[in-house]
Chain A
């Protein structure tokens, strides 16, 4: 079964850090581009970050640039998002999502169930 499973969310104070993980299965992770997309409570979707299969092309939304770092471990079929200097406005459900074709720019054909990040004192 093709699957993405996120973990690592939780409650963190403003200025704190959190590391999200996404475990992939059922498809060839090592040739797939990957993304993080977030959704604040009751709000729409916001793309956060992109990484290509060989980690040579990495991009961030302006809202997280300089604070978040995307990475991947192809040997372990895993995607990560290191989030530093967290703000209240980063509170959201964070989804990892697979690029459909591996080319750029791409649609997102597989989504995880999301992991909730709450930034509050």
Chain B
């Protein structure tokens, strides 16, 4: 059972927009801590996609965006492409656990 809750899977057609939710609590997302998102392509190491809730590292397309409200955060992907098929993980810090915590991951299928 992950501290942060994500839907197991989402899907969309090429060109569409999809969102992935990440629900936490008052000890993590609902506190002062940022949310980060990672993309893991099949058989590869995770890659930082969004940091500080809504910032993109250099090289990440602006099709990817992040937001946060209350105890939840979201990753939005617009103009869906076949290469976006991957697992996506949210991450935050939990002050009651004194630990970095990840969501269980969401598998994105591009139909």
Please give the residue numbers on chain A whose beta carbons come within 8 Å of chain B beta carbons, in ascending order. 35, 37, 44-47, 50, 59, 61-62, 95, 97, 100, 105, 107-109, 111-114
Contacts and interface: CB of A to CB of B under 8 A. Distances in A.
- A-side binding surface: helix, strand, loop or mixed? strand
Contact of B101 (A47, A97, A108): A47
B69 interface: no
Given A107-B34, A109-B51, A62 B46 contact: no
Chain B CB within 10 A, most for which of A45, A47, A113: A45
Interface stretch (B14-22, B71-79, B90-98): B90-98
A72 to B, nearest CB: 18
A113 B91 contact: no
Contacts of B97: 62
Contacts of A95: 45-46
A44 B6 CA distance: 11
B48 A100 contact: yes
Given A35-B100, A62-B97, A107-B34, A44 B48 contact: no
Contact of B45 (A47, A62, A105, A112): A112
Contacts of B100: 35, 47, 50, 105
Contact of A44 (B34, B51, B99, B104): B104
A113 B47 CA distance: 11
Nearest to B101: A47
Interface of B: 2, 33-34, 36, 38, 40, 45-48, 51-52, 57, 89, 91, 93, 97-105
B30 to A, nearest CB: 15
Contacts of A61: 99
A114 to B, nearest CB: 6
Contacts of A114: 45
A44 B91 contact: no
B33 A105 contact: yes
A9 to B, nearest CB: 14
B47 to A, nearest CB: 7
Q: 9 shortest A-B CB distances, which residue pairs?
A: A105-B93, A107-B36, A47-B100, A107-B51, A111-B45, A44-B105, A45-B102, A109-B48, A44-B104
A19 B40 CA distance: 26
